[in-house]
Amino acid sequence: MISVENISKYFNRQTILHDISFSLQKGEILGLLGPNGAGKTTLIRIINQITSADKGFVSYGGDLMKEKHLLNIGYLPEERGLYQSMTVEKQILFLGKLRGLTSKEAQNQMEYWLERFGIREWRKKRIEELSKGMAQKVQFICTVLHEPDVLILDEPFSGFDPINIELIRKELLNFKKKGKSIIISTHNMNNVEEICDRAILINEGEMVLEGTVHDLRQQFKEGIYKISFTGNMIAFANALWVGYEIIDKEIHSDDSFTIYLKMRQENKINDLLNAVIGHVNITAVEEVLPSMENVFVKSINAQNEIISE
Amino acid sequence: MNKIILIAKREIAERFQNRSFKWLMVIGPLAVLGMIYLFLSTTTSTNKEWKVLLMDQEEIFNAKLTANPPKNLNFDFINAFVDYEEFAHEERYQNYDLSVWINEKIVSNKKVIVSYRERPPESIQRQIIYLVERRMEEIMVDQFTDLSIEKFREIKQSLNFTFTDVYDPKNEKSTTESWVGFSFGALIILFVFMFGMTILRSVSREKSNRIVEVLLSSVNARQLLTGKVLGVGFSALVQFAVWTIIVGTGLYLFRQSLFPDMFSASLVADEVANADISYDLANQSPFVELIYSQIQYMNMLVFFSLFFIGGYIFYGSFFAMIGASMGSESDGQQFIIPLTLLLFISVLSGYYVVYYPSTTLSTWLGFIPFTSPMVMMVELSNGFQEGSVWKLILSISILFVSAFFMMIIAGRIYKNGILRFNHRLKLRMLIKWTKK
């Protein structure tokens, strides 16, 4: 759908973005990750044609991105704003028409979304009278009203309570089912793990990582396994030899434990199981993959070390 | 274009929902009418005693008047002619407020010149006219006809009165026309400032509540700015149109009901005992003359609109630039002050041109877009002589071309500055943004 190719942006002789390239496929949810000041918002603004790139280009459906393509994009910026003195209804209709809908289309779409989000009775209220969460819902409606093929959402879950986070999450998955593509810029790694198919990580204006969420977690795994068993803890520890290192344990009762251990040398999980079977009753075994948060922190630290060297 | 119209329509709707805009629409013209009413009231009534020197060289009046003058009018008769210079400066005439010259050929030329130190109010002027006319009727009937005074009135030719300032008999110092233009020019500057500030506030509000980023994902910066300037400008024109209608209606009502005697020749005639006295309205108070006979409203309104539109876009671009580029609301103040100063200089230049209309500086001020809306309104009210209309055309052209270029520059600064926050605005920064 969207292809970002070799984008660079400079400001006051400082590199904000350097040679960023990636693409967004149809029906895909892409997580755009990075610490504060990494250049995510600048990149999103370049995709939305709000800011121009100093180098590189953005294409949409194979064509160089132009103003007409913006009608196919729904953008929810991080710093959300609405006209405070306008009513919910007028606000939605205005932004809908600005994104190419006719009055009738905007009206129909508005009815649908107000009903869906259960805020029909708030339509005549001015934005300044709404709670923050309610205003966030209105902003989300304004973003999706024109049924865009691509959604670009900057921190879409911030400001929402858990119930509304779930509501938005479900809506995003519905959009995905309909074949829409979504870019989510976020700090919330749980969301990335839950709904993103792929993620890219930007730090100091450079793209540090790119891949599917599964691949990235695999890439950063450290050979840690989680074994739950019943029996004697000492018997379990004695059964192990130097090829394994216990790094953490959870005691559930006198004879129920979960152990986190790391493989050393060339050892495999089967070797471990062979060593302990007969000494304890194993109830569960699984490989521990790093969370996206760990992936994020490790990558950033690794890159910062390279830069400082 | 649709997007520009949408943005403009939203701006218009916001203005019309704004209470201060609606209040201004009513209170503004009523304040203007109130001031006019005050002027008209003060020029139509006075308790002052007026001393009149009636100069009758040939003693045509025989040192008497037919009717008794009112208490506040005292006539002295002399059988000599006192010229303006003597009447103005000689000590023995300093007690007199007015002189009425009954020239030796009054029977044939029908001319009466009334000179004054301070222009008398309408009621005093009417009384003088009435008294002189009545005496003249008496003399004419007595000397030239057998008709009764009533019959003679039906066929007589009225006297022609001229009221002259004794200190400026050639009317050289008259700047009445210029002040009409000055008023219109000052109104342009007032509207430009008011609605320029509206643009600034609108831009900075969109910036501070961050809706601008949502808008910019659907429209480009230039469309957004153009829509905003058009919307606010249209609201300003509607505001002005409402002012025009209310003030126009008010002036009509003044003329018809509150001050009918001041304007109606027939009513004046009633007051002077049915005498068929008609005198030129232009000889009345300069303010009445200004309001009801001198201002070429159509002409002034057309050029007011043109210079307002040009001046508004030109100055409005500056206001938009400041609104878009300021890091915080207080940050913009440092640039609003010099801009306000420029508008003030524009008003001063209008004042200068009122008194020095023919200088080279006045000509240049008429072409500089910062001052031309003000200066050209003054020039317009003085009238353009044949062959110098090119000045008007050139001035409008320069203003509109400058406004166009300012919009382009404002668009660049708007684009570069609208998404910058919490910085300290510097002139260097603005100049840099104009180049991108």
Domains of chain A listed by start with CATH number:
2-218 (3.40.50.300), 222-288 (3.30.70.1150)
Q: Are B215 and B206 in contact (CB under 8 A)?
A: yes
pLDDT at A109: 92
- Residues B349 and B229 occupy one common structural domain: yes
**Domain assignment present for B162:** no
The enclosing domain of B114 has a CATH number of 3.40.190.10
Residues B155-178 pLDDT 10s: 888 888 888 888 877 765 556 667
Q: Select from A45, A77, A98 the Cβ nearest to the Cβ of B218.
A: A98
Residues A157-179 pLDDT 10s: 877 888 888 888 899 999 999 99
pLDDT-based confidence at B271, cuts 50/70/90?
very low
pLDDT beyond 50 at A134: yes
- Residues B270 and B363 occupy one common structural domain: yes
- Residues B101 and B66 occupy one common structural domain: yes
Q: Select from B10, B213, B216 the Cβ nearest to the Cβ of A94.
A: B10
pLDDT at A94: 93
Q: Which domain holds residue B338?
A: 2-37+174-435
B interface with A, Cβ–Cβ below 8 Å? 3, 6-7, 10, 13-14, 17, 206, 209-220, 419
pLDDT at B269: 45
- Bridge-based pairing of strands A14-24 and A2-11 is antiparallel
pLDDT at A92: 93
pLDDT at B232: 92
Contacts 24+ apart (CB under 8 A), A6-12: A6/A55, A6/A56, A6/A57, A7/A43, A7/A46, A7/A53, A7/A55, A7/A56, A7/A57, A7/A58, A8/A53, A8/A54, A8/A55, A8/A56, A9/A39, A9/A42, A9/A46, A9/A51, A9/A53, A9/A54, A9/A55, A9/A205, A10/A54
- Residues B99 and B121 occupy one common structural domain: yes
**Domain assignment present for B163:** no
Tell me how far apart the alpha carbons of residues B422 and B319 are, in angstroms, rounded to a whole number: 19
Q: Select from B211, B218, B220 the Cβ nearest to the Cβ of A82.
A: B211
Residues of A in contact with B212 (CB under 8 A): 81
Tell me how far apart the alpha carbons of residues A172 and A187 are, in angstroms, rounded to a whole number: 17
**Domain assignment present for B280:** yes
Length of chain A: 309
Q: How far is B205 from chain A (nearest CA, A)?
A: 9
Residues of B in contact with A95 (CB under 8 A): 214, 218
- Residues B345 and B237 occupy one common structural domain: yes
Query: Mean per-residue pLDDT for B148-154?
Result: 80
pLDDT beyond 60 at A302: yes
Tell me, letter by letter, the H, E, C secondary structure of A168-217: HHHHHHHHHHCCCEEEEECCCHHHHHHHCCEEEEEECCEEEEEEEHHHHH
| A95 to B212: CB separation less than 8 angstroms, yes or no | no
* pLDDT winner (highest mean) among A270-279, B344-353, B416-425: B344-353
Tell me how far apart the alpha carbons of residues A157 and A171 are, in angstroms, rounded to a whole number: 12
**Domain assignment present for B208:** yes
- Residues B225 and B132 occupy one common structural domain: no
How many independent structural domains does chain B possess? Answer: 2
Query: Mean per-residue pLDDT for A280-290?
Result: 88
- Residues B289 and B194 occupy one common structural domain: yes
- Residues B336 and B288 occupy one common structural domain: yes
Q: Of A79, A89, A128, which to mutate for an interface test with B (greatest number of B Cβ within 10 Å)?
A: A79
pLDDT at B272: 47
Cβ-Cβ pairs closer than 8 A, A with B, add up to 59
Tell me how far apart the alpha carbons of residues B127 and B125 are, in angstroms, rounded to a whole number: 5
Radius of gyration in angstroms for the set of CA atoms belonging to chain A, rounded to a whole number: 24
- Domain edge (last residue) among B157, B189, B206: B157
pLDDT at A112: 92
Q: How far is B376 from chain A (nearest CA, A)?
A: 40
Q: How far is A50 from chain B (nearest CA, A)?
A: 6
- Residues B127 and B14 occupy one common structural domain: no
**Domain assignment present for B181:** yes
Q: List the single residue in A with minimal CA-CA distance to B2.
A: A98
Higher pLDDT, B152 or A108: A108
Q: Select from A50, A83, A95 the Cβ nearest to the Cβ of B419.
A: A50
- Residues B61 and B181 occupy one common structural domain: no
pLDDT-based confidence at B266, cuts 50/70/90?
very low
Query: Mean per-residue pLDDT for A8-37?
Result: 87
Question: Which residues make Cβ contacts (< 8 Å) with residue B143, sequence separation at least 6?
Answer: none
Task: Report the interhelical angle of B297-325 vs B221-253 (nearest 10°).
Answer: 140
| B210 to A51: CB separation less than 8 angstroms, yes or no | no
DSSP code, position B255: I
pLDDT at B270: 46
Radius of gyration in angstroms for the set of CA atoms belonging to chain B, rounded to a whole number: 29
Q: Where does B110-166 have alpha helices with state H? A: 122-144, 149-155
Strand arrangement, sheet containing A29-33: A73-76, A150-154, A181-185, A29-33, A198-203, A206-212
- Residues B87 and B111 occupy one common structural domain: yes
| A77 to B220: CB separation less than 8 angstroms, yes or no | no
Average pLDDT, chain A: 86
**Domain assignment present for B42:** no
| A95 to B218: CB separation less than 8 angstroms, yes or no | yes
- Residues B309 and B331 occupy one common structural domain: yes
Strands (E), A244-309: 244-253, 256-263, 280-288
**Domain assignment present for B43:** no
Query: Mean per-residue pLDDT for B9-35?
Result: 88
pLDDT-based confidence at A108, cuts 50/70/90?
very high
Q: Are B317 and B434 in contact (CB under 8 A)?
A: no
**Domain assignment present for B94:** yes
Neighbours of B131 (CB within 10 A): 23
Residues of B in contact with A77 (CB under 8 A): 210, 213-214, 217
